[in-house]
Amino acid sequence: MAAPAIDTTLAPRSEAPVKPRKTYLNADYSVSSWLLTVDHKRIAILYLVSILVFFFLGGLFAAGVRLELLTPKGDLLQADTYNKFFTMHGIIMVFFFLVPSIPATLGNFLVPMMIGARDLAFPRVNLLSWYIFILGGAFTLVAVVGGGVDTGWTFYTPYSTTYSTSNVMPAAIGIFITGFSSILTGLNFIVTIHRMRAPGLTWFRLPLFIWAHYATSLIFVLGTPVIAITIFLVGLERGLHIGIFDPALGGDPVLFQHLFWFYSHPAVYIMILPGMGVVSEIITCFARKPIFGYSFIALSSVAIAVLGFVVWGHHLFTSSQSVYAALIFSVLSYVVAIPSAVKVFNWIATLYRGAISFEAPMLYALGFIGLFTIGGLTGLFVAAVGFDLHVHDTYFVVAHFHYIMVGGAVLAFLGGLHFWWPKMFGRMYPEAWAKVAAIIVFIGFNLTFFPQFILGYLGMPRRYHAYPDEFQVLNVLSTAGASILAVGYLMPFCYLLWSLKYGALAPANPWQASGLEWLTPSPPPTENFAETPIVTEDPYHYGTDDDAEAVHVA
């Protein structure tokens, strides 16, 4: 079938919401039909449930951290417990929540649908990746339950290999294993995007969500193996006492830092690029306009992915790398910031002369733009070598990355989840509740993390459970904000669950959005499309041409 013209003009809806008879959700109800599924949509759901569990676990540790920091003395948690809390918070949030968050859930669900395919190229590999994820998660949970890890999520040597007495091994094994699930997901996406596009869907007709996932997959595939081998070496040194990084055994601890950040800096782009893809989709849809500067946004994703591999040394400004290395990494960090800035400006320009409405996904997307900008701009602060000597390893850095990872990536995840919720489950979420939650998250977030910039510049080091008295007021503010934030997160959790049963039935295309995924019923049938769609036009076919001078400004 040729793609039926999508009604993106917001004419009154003609289609009545009909519950499709056979969907991927009701095809089979048995447990084994879920645990042995090779349907990318079901695997996406499996991932969604798992990462949400990890998110709340990571959130609980964050709650512990924030509660301890209410008072300057270590009253609530012992030093040792606190160290384990922030370590497990970081490990769980990064490796088990944020890295897989958008790619493995929304990405798994949408990549095949957006390109008009019936599944990912390797469905069984996809299922395998989930099992690997769960296995890695299990090891990490063993580490948590068995007493925790206290190395920080960065595992710096020789502390992690020689001195720490906590459960470093199970945690390292968990991260090592989970890495392979990322690799497999990335491999699957790359092959799928290369080989499975519907007829007529050329590269520059791909939705920006796909471009973002393509770029992310490149990092998955090129970066993750390096963290795997690094963690492997840490395991060797710790387990067998063979020297690799410990100077007492002839090794070089800074080499570990280089290898670690060679993955972990690109990994921060794994965490943000998919979110940028989500935001691009949402903004055009609710502004009823084609995206501004399509090819610039598309290529900037690839540019970020590639350049992201050459800036790792900006985490080592104080680590005694050579002065010239530091300068090169500094200047490259500024180069990699430009594609991000380009994206932000293009999103703003997309709003210009739009017909904007403010459903919850749009609120999240707009919140993303603001908070990501602040996070990114403070990235420019810390990339200035002379400046970073002061704020490195203080709360300034903590604030920087939470602005991007929570204010940016988590908001994009929530926005995307609301946006595609009707497609995934065939139910609408309650709009009013969702708007309120989005606003609460935004307020709570800023109250939590803005004071941390000030704290950082004042000099409060990170990973301190006790601190001088004069930092208390700002810490109390931050903890207060975190409680608001927790409410903001719990709300969607509740009303989204509620909507599964009681939400209004969703039509195939509730937002009158363009994009192949909206062509099939909600929720889609197992095969996604009754017939392979044929694509004949560019993406984001929103808006009108009638205002002739609006077509091309400049």
Partner 1 sequence: MRAYDFPLFPEQASTMAPQVDYLYFFLIAVSLFFCLIIAGTLIGFSIKFRRTPTNRIGHRIHGSTLLEVAWSIIPFGITMVIFFWGAWLFFAQARPPDNAHEVFVVGKQWMWKLQHMEGRREINELHVPVGQSVRLTMTSEDVIHSFYVPAFRTKFDVLPGRYTTAWFNATKPGEYHLFCAEYCGTQHAGMIGKVVVMEPAAFQNWLSEPPPIVSMVENVAAPSSGGAPLSPVAAGEALFTQKACLTCHQPQGGALGPSLVNVYGSTVKLADGSTVTADDAYIRESILNSASKIVAGFQPVMPTFQGQLTEEQVMQLIQYIKSLKTTPPAGQAQNPPAAADSAS
Partner 2 sequence: MSLEQTTPYVAHHFDDAEQQHDASSLGMWVFLVTEVMFFGGLFTTYVVYRTAYPEAFHGASHELNVTIGFFNTLVLLTSSLTMALSVHAAQVSKRGMLVVNLFLTMVLGNVFLGVKAYEYWHKWHEHLIPGPHFVYHGADPVHAQLFFSLYFAMTGLHALHMIVGEVLLGILLLRAAQGMFNKYYYTPVEMSGLYWHFVDLVWIFLFPLLYLIGRH
Using CB under 5 A, list all residues that contact Cu ion: 265
58: left (phi over 0), alpha (psi -120 to 50) or beta: alpha
Q: Residue 343, Cβ neighbours under 10 Å: how many?
A: 25
Among 305, 405, 417, 424, binds ligand HEA (CB under 6 A): 405
How many residues bind partner 1 (CB under 8 A)? The answer is: 108
Among 115, 172, 474, 482, binds ligand HEA (CB under 6 A): 482
Among 60, 70, 128, 196, binds partner 2 (CB under 8 A): 196
Would you call 427 helix, strand, or coil by DSSP?
strand
534 binds partner 1, rule: CB under 8 A:
no
Q: 466-505 burial, b if ≥16 CB within 10 A, otherwise e?
A: ebeeebeebbebbbbbbebbbebbebbeebbeebeeebee
Q: How far is the CB of 369 from ligand HEA (least distance, A)?
A: 9
Would you call 363 helix, strand, or coil by DSSP?
helix
Interface positions, 401-440, toward partner 1 (CB under 8 A): none
**What angle, 0 to 180 degrees and rounded to 10, lies between the N-to-C axes of helices 411-425 and 253-287?**
50
Among 60, 142, 255, 458, binds ligand HEA (CB under 6 A): 60
How many residues bind partner 2 (CB under 8 A)? The answer is: 44
Taking CB under 8 A as the binding criterion, the range among 197-205, 389-397, 424-432, 486-494 that sits at the site for partner 1 is 389-397
Q: Which class for 356: exposed (0-12), middle (13-18), buried (19 or more C-beta within 10 A)?
A: middle
Residue 394, beta-bridge partner list: 461
Interface positions, 247-276, toward partner 1 (CB under 8 A): 247-248, 250, 252-254
320 binds, among ligand HEA, partner 1, Cu ion, none (CB under 5 to 8 A by kind): partner 1
170 Cβ contact list (under 8 Å, min separation 6) = 139, 140, 142, 143, 146
Taking CB under 8 A as the binding criterion, the range among 36-44, 127-135, 153-161, 412-420 that sits at the site for partner 1 is 153-161
Distance CA 213, CA 104 (A): 10
Among 144, 187, 268, 405, binds partner 2 (CB under 8 A): 187
334 binds partner 1, rule: CB under 8 A:
yes
Would you call 76 helix, strand, or coil by DSSP?
coil
Q: How far is the CB of 183 from partner 1 (least distance, A)?
A: 29
For partner 2, the closer of residues 74 and 225 by Cβ is 225
546 Cβ contact list (under 8 Å, min separation 6) = none
For ligand HEA, the closer of residues 157 and 448 by Cβ is 448
Give 474's Cβ-side CA count (13 Å radius): 20
22 binds partner 2, rule: CB under 8 A:
no
373 binds ligand HEA, rule: CB under 6 A:
yes
Q: Which pair of tokens denotes residue 61? A: 């540790």
Distance CA 256, CA 164 (A): 16
Interface positions, 216-275, toward partner 2 (CB under 8 A): 221-226, 228-230, 232-233, 236-237, 240-244, 249-252, 255, 259, 262
The one-letter code for the residue type at 40 is: H
226 binds, among partner 1, Cu ion, partner 2, none (CB under 5 to 8 A by kind): partner 2
Q: Which of 149, 147, 152 is nearest to 171 (CA)?
A: 149
156 binds, among partner 1, Cu ion, ligand HEA, none (CB under 5 to 8 A by kind): partner 1
Distance CA 488, CA 264 (A): 29
Taking CB under 8 A as the binding criterion, the range among 110-118, 180-188, 327-335, 423-431 that sits at the site for partner 1 is 327-335
**What angle, 0 to 180 degrees and rounded to 10, lies between the N-to-C axes of helices 253-287 and 208-240?**
160
Q: How far is the CB of 321 from partner 1 (least distance, A)?
A: 8
For partner 1, the closer of residues 69 and 270 by Cβ is 69
Taking CB under 8 A as the binding criterion, the range among 53-61, 123-131, 145-153, 426-434 that sits at the site for partner 1 is 145-153
What is the DSSP annotation of 227-269? HHHHHHHHHHHHHH---SS-GGGT--HHHHHHHHHHHHHHHHH
553 binds, among partner 2, Cu ion, partner 1, none (CB under 5 to 8 A by kind): partner 1
What is the DSSP annotation of 206-218? S-HHHHHHHHHHH
Interface positions, 153-182, toward ligand HEA (CB under 6 A): 153-154
CB-based contact 253:156 (threshold 8 Å): yes
CB-based contact 111:210 (threshold 8 Å): yes
For partner 2, the closer of residues 187 and 279 by Cβ is 187
User: One symbol per residue from 467 to 486: x for binding partner 1 (CB under 8 A), - otherwise; what is it?
Assistant: xxxxxxxx------------
223 binds, among partner 1, partner 2, Cu ion, none (CB under 5 to 8 A by kind): partner 2
Q: How many residues does the chain have?
A: 554
388 binds ligand HEA, rule: CB under 6 A:
yes
CB-based contact 517:41 (threshold 8 Å): no
337 binds, among Cu ion, ligand HEA, partner 2, none (CB under 5 to 8 A by kind): ligand HEA
17 binds partner 2, rule: CB under 8 A:
no
First to last CA, the chain: 38
48 binds, among Cu ion, partner 2, ligand HEA, none (CB under 5 to 8 A by kind): none
Q: Which pair of tokens denotes residue 210? A: 């796909």
508 binds, among ligand HEA, Cu ion, partner 1, none (CB under 5 to 8 A by kind): none
Interface positions, 83-102, toward ligand HEA (CB under 6 A): 86-87, 89-90, 93-94, 98
Q: How far is the CB of 135 from partner 2 (least distance, A)?
A: 17
344 binds partner 2, rule: CB under 8 A:
no
Distance CA 337, CA 284 (A): 23
Q: Residue 194, Cβ neighbours under 10 Å: how many?
A: 11
Q: How far is the CB of 264 from partner 1 (least distance, A)?
A: 15
- Contacts with partner 2, residue ranges (CB under 8 A): 117-123, 125, 183, 187-188, 190-192, 194-196, 221-226, 228-230, 232-233, 236-237, 240-244, 249-252, 255, 259, 262, 527, 532
